[in-house]
Homo-oligomer: A and B are copies of this chain.
């Protein structure tokens, strides 16, 4: 992670958009920008909390590990998303890790400065509350899915979520490059099981995964697989 010049224009990220004009100069002084290489961690589980990050360019996975070679991907983050907001709680150590999926750029603020900003900027605090409430809702939904849905339905749901979050590119592929390992960790299953389900989906012309690009051929059938699990 290498510090770099000011790539963020102070208007596109979640934070900057909500800042009062008079606050922007202070922000410009405090804010630091970092280039992150693909696969690099910006922080990992157990690191001391020092600040909060805003994705300016690129994408990240936020994950919790288990057993050294097992992990669960909690969520993905892309341009304009926040990472490291868990540091706002009473916990002094990050409970999750954040890893770049591609070369990325992040803005960084020390937690003390960010908290000072929150106490001054009511609108920012209010929007952060809304954001956290939505995150919590998503997280609860994932809990229920992990507890009650079949692996096949969870995998289908994982692809639907990826599609919603990243959208599609000109060729119709989901606009993200992601390893199978990561997809299985996101769906809460194993690499091998993902495979078998993926073959099934391909055979039924629902979805294909070539290289690291995902193409959803039949959104309806995919949704049906999720629904039929009830």
- Interface, chain A (partner B; CB < 8 A): 64, 66-67, 70, 72, 74, 85-91, 95-96, 115, 118-120, 122-123, 125-126, 128-130, 132-137, 139-144, 146-148, 188, 230
Contacts and interface: CB of A to CB of B under 8 A. Distances in A.
B148 A147 contact: no
A interface SS class? helix
Given A88-B130, A132-B133, 14 more contacts: A64-B140, A64-B141, A74-B140, A86-B133, A86-B140, A89-B130, A89-B137, A91-B134, A115-B126, A119-B122, A119-B126, A125-B126, A128-B129, A146-B147
A8 B130 CA distance: 27
B88 A140 contact: no
A128 B66 CA distance: 30
Contacts of A137: 86, 89, 91, 95
A143 to B, nearest CB: 5
Determine how many copies of this chain the complex contains.
2
Contacts of A90: 130, 134
Contact of A143 (B72, B119, B129, B130): B72
Nearest to A95: B137
Contacts of A120: 122
Contacts of A132: 129, 132-133, 136
Contacts of A88: 129-130, 133
Given A85-B133, A129-B125, A129-B132, A230 B140 contact: no
A140 B138 CA distance: 10
Nearest to A125: B125
